[in-house]
Amino acid sequence: MNWLTKLVLPKIRAVVAKKDVPDNLWIKCPSCEQMLFHRELETNLFVCRNCGHHLRLNPNRRLALLFDEGSYTEVELPKAVVDPLRFRDRKRYTDRLKEAQARGADALRVAHGKIGGVPAVAAVFDFEFLGGSMGVAVGEGLIAAARLAVLQEAALIVVPASGGARMQEGILSLMQLPRTIIAVEELKAKALPYIVLLTDPTTGGVSASFAMLGDITLAEPGAVVGFAGARVIEETIREKLPEGFQRAEYLLEHGMVDMVVPRAKLRETMVRLLDLLYRKQPAPVVVPLLTAQVRGAGEGAT
């Protein structure tokens, strides 16, 4: 250690690190680097007022945004086997889990309520929980959500934000791909609506299973959605990838996504879609006349 690192560096750090405001009051936009006031960001649904970048929304806020009057009932999810492989990298998987569990039981939250008066079950990923990775618990959660939707004859809305399968659970996490697909199929067999809202990021095993099977696939602006990362693809095919590759807008242009919906329009879009998908019959305007005629014909016959 020389004088530069010993003496000068701490002084520079002290100057740079000096903050006039507490950490939680200001948030730096990851896209344009503008400092955003937390309270203002909250009222703007965590969308940067400067560049329109959609910051990650935590599951509580997402659920409150989706459901009527922000009111919903959270579902307790089945407990999954913890650390079936006794996995250890730099840390034990059980320790990683324990730390993450300060946020909730696992990377998925499921709730039910009404959206535009239509019964709905929502399964929302928590990216802060081990990168929103899908292990056995998340798979179980998705199955529970789909079955609850079938039971309640409700629509299912899934909001993934995930790096993919949870590698610490090895093949067991890969098994969640077919399991979640079957869960969604159970819902489709009952002709109940299934809407996916792709948020940043939706990648790996999650993008390779239930997340691509929505009756309608929505995406948030700028969300990265894909299977392998752009750098890996670029290195494999040795070609420069096009501008905006794997972004929501690019996927919309190429037919992978039906709509890119800004967060401010999310609720009204969801209400409109559910109304269209859930209404089983058109409004019965002509029904009274028809019943009158049928009744008349019936009376004549007897």
- Smallest gap from residue 219 Cβ to Zn ion (A): 19
Q: Of 49 and 147, which CB lies nearer to Zn ion in the complex structure? A: 49
Q: Of 10 and 262, which CB lies nearer to Zn ion in the complex structure? A: 262
Q: Of 136 and 224, which CB lies nearer to Zn ion in the complex structure? A: 224
Q: Of 31 and 58, which CB lies nearer to Zn ion in the complex structure? A: 31
- Smallest gap from residue 50 Cβ to Zn ion (A): 4
Q: Count CB-CB contacts under 10 A for residue 226.
A: 19
How far, in Å, CA of 92 to CA of 103, rounded? 18
Could you give phi then psi for residue 74, rounded to 5 degrees? Answer: -80, 145
Contact 135, 99 (CB under 8 A): no
- Smallest gap from residue 247 Cβ to Zn ion (A): 16
How far, in Å, CA of 126 to CA of 124, rounded? 7
Query: Residue 274's closest CA among 157, 111, 124?
Result: 157
- Smallest gap from residue 46 Cβ to Zn ion (A): 11
- Smallest gap from residue 42 Cβ to Zn ion (A): 15
- Smallest gap from residue 262 Cβ to Zn ion (A): 14
Q: Which residues of the shown chain bind Zn ion in the complex (CB under 5 A)?
A: 29, 31-32, 48, 50-51, 53
Could you give phi then psi for residue 96, rounded to 5 degrees? Answer: -60, -45
- Smallest gap from residue 27 Cβ to Zn ion (A): 10
Q: Of 27 and 134, which CB lies nearer to Zn ion in the complex structure? A: 27
Q: Of 25 and 32, which CB lies nearer to Zn ion in the complex structure? A: 32
Q: Of 34 and 291, which CB lies nearer to Zn ion in the complex structure? A: 34
How far, in Å, CA of 74 to CA of 296, rounded? 51
Q: Of 51 and 287, which CB lies nearer to Zn ion in the complex structure? A: 51
- Smallest gap from residue 54 Cβ to Zn ion (A): 10
